[in-house]
Amino acid sequence: MIEKKPPLTIRLCQPRGFCAGVDRAIQIVVLALKKYGAPVYVRHEIVHNRYVVEGLQSLGAVFIEELSEIPPEHRQSPVVFSAHGVPKSVPADAQARNLFYLDATCPLVSKVHKQAMRHQRLGRHVLLIGHAGHPEVIGTMGQLPEGAVTLIETEADAARFEPVDASALGFVTQTTLSVEDTAGIIRALQERFPQLYAPAAESICYATTNRQEAVKETAAGADLFLVVGAPNSSNSRRLVEVAERAGATTSLLVQRAAEIPWDEIAAIKTLGLSAGASAPEIIVDEIIDAFRQRFDVTIDLAITATETEDFPVMRVLRDVELTAADMAFVNGAA
């Protein structure tokens, strides 16, 4: 007699997973490998996802932390800068070393860089709301001279900050923050500094906002909410926090199906499922398949937004055809 599987409803968030900036960055590495051959060097993880990094390594990408790691015999090989952005010192170092580089910085991160530079050009001290040590924060602070930017991580930081001139302040934010947490910090700053200048456009990116809204809509009443993503992925970790605040009984960050605590979740009836902006859809499929093996699964697709953004790669790579097969290692079979 075949044992009957317990029923499970999976509330599958849409949008989820790759945003346009992440997709573009991965495409740049894939296209560079097709055009120039291996090795293609990548400074820092191209996006914060181990599966993606290992997939690109298998194609011939070599990940480094500093340009000095590129051996002399490979100085003609391309080096790609990650989607998180880099300080101005990095392309300057690449030029000094006569390296050929491709900048895969997300256009929305580049927009934050421009907003920060605009504040400074207009005589304002820049407040950057973000997390210390995150590559995007390092890259944004590195657009301006030392001392021109102050990092604000919390409302407590906002309360402690003492400016030289309270009438000449402007803020920008890391693109992957919690919308609610950031709003609280901005409120705290505006209460202390009514003349604080906002950026000309929203800094938190559309994908971060959309994924958080989708999780808010689906988390209430979920016995378990899973977010597919890496521990060093800021936007993925924020989704876990959003799910807990929005009413999920338990919320977990997992990189693969093997990390799911199967022994602890045998009695769940409703599962929420989303993926951070750097998590590939092939892992979402893997996790759904793993649940199907154990439960009688019904998928409830929760669509809260439709994303049409598409960021083209740089002109030097546009003559190379990108096929579905080229991206199957992250997107799955078409």
Coil vs helix vs strand at 42: strand
CA 283 to each of CA 15, 185, 188, 238, 275: distance values in angstroms, whole numbers, following the listed order: 15, 34, 39, 19, 9
CA 15 to each of CA 205, 223, 303, 305: distance values in angstroms, whole numbers, following the listed order: 14, 21, 7, 6
Q: Can the peptide bond before residue 6 be classed as cis, meaning omega within 30 degrees of 0?
A: no
Q: Which tokens go with 147?
A: 């001392």
- Strands, E, within 22-158: which ranges? 40-43, 61-64, 78-81, 100-103, 125-129, 149-152
pLDDT at 1: 55
Q: Which element (helix H / strand E) includes 221?
A: none
In one-letter notation, the amino acid at residue 219 is A
Go through the chain and tell me how many residues it has.
Answer: 334
pLDDT at 203: 75
Q: Are 46 and 86 in contact (CB under 8 A)?
A: no
Strand order in the sheet with 40-43: 61-64, 40-43, 78-81, 100-103
pLDDT at 334: 61
| pLDDT above 70 for 226 | yes
CA-to-CA distance for 206 and 211, rounded, in angstroms? 9
Coil vs helix vs strand at 169: strand
CA-to-CA distance for 155 and 157, rounded, in angstroms? 5
Q: What percent of the chain has pLDDT over 70?
A: 99
Q: Are 39 and 74 in contact (CB under 8 A)?
A: yes
Q: Which element (helix H / strand E) includes 148?
A: none
Across the strands, what pairs with 136?
A: none
Q: Give the residue-averaged pLDDT of 307-334.
A: 93
| pLDDT above 60 for 64 | yes
Q: Can the peptide bond before residue 71 be classed as cis, meaning omega within 30 degrees of 0?
A: no
Q: Are 41 and 79 in contact (CB under 8 A)?
A: yes
Q: What is the pLDDT of residues 205-216, one digit of tens each?
A: 889 899 999 999
Catalytic residue numbers read 136
Coil vs helix vs strand at 327: coil
What pTM value is reported for the model?
0.93
Q: What is the pLDDT of residues 157-202, one digit of tens each?
A: 999 999 999 999 999 999 888 788 889 999 999 999 999 999 987 7
pLDDT at 72: 92
